[in-house]
Structure 1
């Protein structure tokens, strides 16, 4: 049985701004086992990156405030830890792959030095041993001629190769948890597929746990074990990748799945969009935050926030449509066709 590595309990994070207090994360719960990948998905502004930065304790305080909750890593709450205590965990036990490799790398420093610095900080090895380990890492992440590349600067690498270097830096101290914040957004589709394959290989080889942040549900089907769908700072649906793709229960998840383009199965319908935009989290709406954009909203959605209903032992969704007294609403046909088409494509890979 897999051992629990990370548990986030009722996490609330606010930001003080001139306009007021932004409630960016509003009671998030999820857990992650050893060797497992959890994908956190949702539109921009849903709280995905704030949640992942909170796990690394990278939220600047101020303006950020850890208002409530716990982040239990190997059973230890990270929130009360000092910066000095966190610096021993960051890079060593929890590492992060950032979205844009050009801003994640120091343009004035040779790539090899950027990797060896991490190794020397967290491991008791000589400079020569750190260099050999850095060359091994460059080779492991698929960079040809690693000995030569070790001495080059970031501008001498392509975008995909730079992202591989960022992954090598994240792996330098053999972390137990890797947080990948939209690591393929800035890359073309072919390179994106290579990076995803690389992350899967690394996970298999090292039994690394991964939190994968993305707005692209297409990426999720190929990499995740479990999925947390976020909207307006809350997890609105949570389940295994099969739960989310084969039996989505929240209208927001339907919208995300329905807005994926189907390029291979000749689905002729216009690409669906979710009308409106996410709410202002300085003044979160009463009731269900998704109600104004939800064509299936019930009267209670505008009055009372729904609880997290249990669909199965692995699957939960925060929608009044799961209440025993709610009308039964099937997934709209246009969305179910698109999901079927997409699943066929995923099964053929």
Structure 2
């Protein structure tokens, strides 16, 4: 498949009163045309900072892109100025943010907010832009679009506001759509509807998608590939089948084991990853996950593991994959959740016990 985005050895940091925070540490991945890549990890793992760096939305200072390349259609975005990025944002890359109420302008009608993007990136009349705005609202599933295009954000529910945000993001037909926790603030039913909407949009519009979430269960029915991030690094990446059916990194095991279900809630046995993520002003020596890893080897505390290849599309950053490492199988909680997820790949997201 043809690559749309290539991120190579990206390093992003922030100068703070407490010291220099190494938020993203040597991250590399790519996104193919028409593909959905999910980036998963706990809060503070570097997911949002990575995607904000792609869009050059990192405030500089205190932030800086210290190293690496961000190639969009072969063109490096890192050296581009804010003025140069204005032409790219919206037209080539768009973002759907987590909370639409803080992203939408409360003083503007939603139609005006959509047409603003259309007019900025396309040489069309205002009348054509208005028609396009109505079409986009219909595309994202908002009923009575001709009427609602004249309403303000406060007249929409939370789920409908998120649909408006998706319409704005699609207004200039971007090549890459970044969705930053777009369902976190929504209830489970609306969350499922938004996830189904994202799937249908990918088919209809053809945009590539980067989907950021802390919940592995959310992406089981949405993503083509999954990248698992921890402490500013990608620790495992592979197809959605490989990550769910054959996870290899202990951190991925922890995320899978901690996925709640009706059964675990009823039994009061919700799993959790022990400990807390490391302080990235002073990243630990060796494997950053070692202090929280019940399967850590001595070498984990001394030397950072390389990315080991499991298959042509599956890689994991753990010493457990070294030929001389002891064989350790995933814990029972991972296998149990894996069995529950086995039927979700061909079913609507609504049936998932998440």
Counterpart-to-counterpart distance in 2, 1:3 and 1:131: 34
Helix, strand or coil: the match of 2:159? helix
On the 8 A contact 2:202/2:208 being kept in 1, the answer is yes
On the 8 A contact 2:38/2:212 being kept in 1, the answer is yes
TM-score normalized by structure 1?
0.97
* 1:1-20 map, 5 Å: 2-20=1-19
Residue-by-residue CA offset, 1:101-156 (whole Å, 9 max, x unaligned): 10010001111100000000000001111101001111111111111111110000
Residue equivalent to 2:137: 138
Counterpart-to-counterpart distance in 2, 1:153 and 1:341: 42
Counterpart-to-counterpart distance in 1, 2:261 and 2:155: 36
Instruction: State the 1:59 CA deviation.
Output: 0.3
Residue equivalent to 2:352: none
Residue equivalent to 1:27: 26
Instruction: State the 1:283 CA deviation.
Output: 0.3
Residue-by-residue CA offset, 1:209-248 (whole Å, 9 max, x unaligned): 0000000111110100000000000000000001100000
On the 8 A contact 1:48/1:213 being kept in 2, the answer is yes
Residue equivalent to 1:200: 199
Q: Which runs of 5+ in 2 are unaligned?
A: 349-354
On the 8 A contact 1:14/1:23 being kept in 2, the answer is yes
For the pair 1:229 / 2:222, whether they are aligned, the reply is: no
Counterpart-to-counterpart distance in 1, 2:186 and 2:33: 28
Instruction: State the 1:3 CA deviation.
Output: 1.3
* 1:79-228 map, 5 Å: 79-228=78-227
Counterpart-to-counterpart distance in 1, 2:23 and 2:336: 34
Instruction: State the 1:346 CA deviation.
Output: 4.6
Name which of structure 1's ranges 332-341 and 6-15 shifts more when overlaid on structure 2. Answer: 332-341
Counterpart-to-counterpart distance in 1, 2:293 and 2:198: 35
Counterpart-to-counterpart distance in 2, 1:267 and 1:145: 41
On the 8 A contact 2:264/2:270 being kept in 1, the answer is no
Helix, strand or coil: the match of 2:143? coil
Helix, strand or coil: the match of 1:7? strand
Counterpart-to-counterpart distance in 1, 2:111 and 2:267: 50
Counterpart-to-counterpart distance in 1, 2:170 and 2:118: 9
Counterpart-to-counterpart distance in 1, 2:325 and 2:147: 64
Number of aligned residue pairs: 348
Counterpart-to-counterpart distance in 1, 2:174 and 2:266: 42
Q: Report the RMSD for the aligned CA atoms in angstroms.
A: 1.3
Instruction: State the 1:264 CA deviation.
Output: 6.4
Residue-by-residue CA offset, 1:315-348 (whole Å, 9 max, x unaligned): 0000000001100001112321222122235555
On the 8 A contact 2:176/2:207 being kept in 1, the answer is yes
Q: Which runs of 5+ in 1 are unaligned?
A: none
Helix, strand or coil: the match of 2:58? coil
Residue equivalent to 2:285: 286
